[in-house]
Structure formats: structure tokens, C-alpha cells
Amino acid sequence: AHLEAWLWGQREGWDVAPFEASAYVQAERNMVLRLLTYKIGSLNEMLEAKIVALNSAQLDALSKALLAFTTQAELEAWLREQGGG
């Protein structure tokens, strides 16, 4: 996702520094955490730590997968499939 932001910035003529790309990843992570809390309720510290440890590609995949989640068990299963649980 941060690569997409960088490419978009380059297309628009913006110079997106690496620290700004990192900010995009952090913003994506925060959005995923908020959406998960909305969809399945408060996350325990262990689940939140696993999500924080995901890379950008995994966060992007989770942002799509979470739309179908209705329980924390589904999130836990998804994390196990990613090798993070």
C-alpha cells in the first residue's frame, strides 16, 4: 500500500520521502484496527500486536478480508493463515 502511495505521489509530481511512506503504512494500520474494532469488537493486546506486526501487503489483504469478518475467531484464523498466529 505504501508503494501505491509512493507511485501515486510520483505520478502527481510529489516527492514522497520514505518516512512519509511509513506514515501511510501507520495510517493504514490504524484504519484497519478501527474497522476491526467496529466489526468484531475490542481486540485484546495479543491480537492488536499481531496486526501491528503485519507488513504493508498483509495489511492491505486484511483490509479486504475484514469486511467478511463477524467474529474474532475469523480474524484469528486469518492471522494463522498469514503465519502470524
pLDDT in tens, 35-76: 999 999 999 999 999 999 998 899 999 999 999 999 999 999
* Alpha carbon distance 48, 7 (integer Å): 29
The number of domains in the chain is 1
Binned at pLDDT 50, 70 and 90, residue 81 comes out as very high
Domain of 50 in residue numbering reads as: 26-81
Average pLDDT, the chain: 83
Does residue 34 lie in a domain region? yes
* In-domain check, residue 11: no
Residue 45, domain member (yes or no): yes
- Would you place residue 24 in the very low, low, confident or very high pLDDT band (cuts 50, 70, 90)? confident
Phi/psi at 9 (5° precision):
-60, -40
Question: pTM of the entire structure?
Answer: 0.72
Residue 21 in any domain: the answer is: no
Instruction: Using alpha carbons, list the distances in angstroms from residue 82 to 29, 38, 55, 68.
Output: 16, 22, 11, 17
User: What pLDDT score does 23 carry?
Assistant: 82
- Residue 48 in domain: yes
- Domain membership flag for residue 49: yes
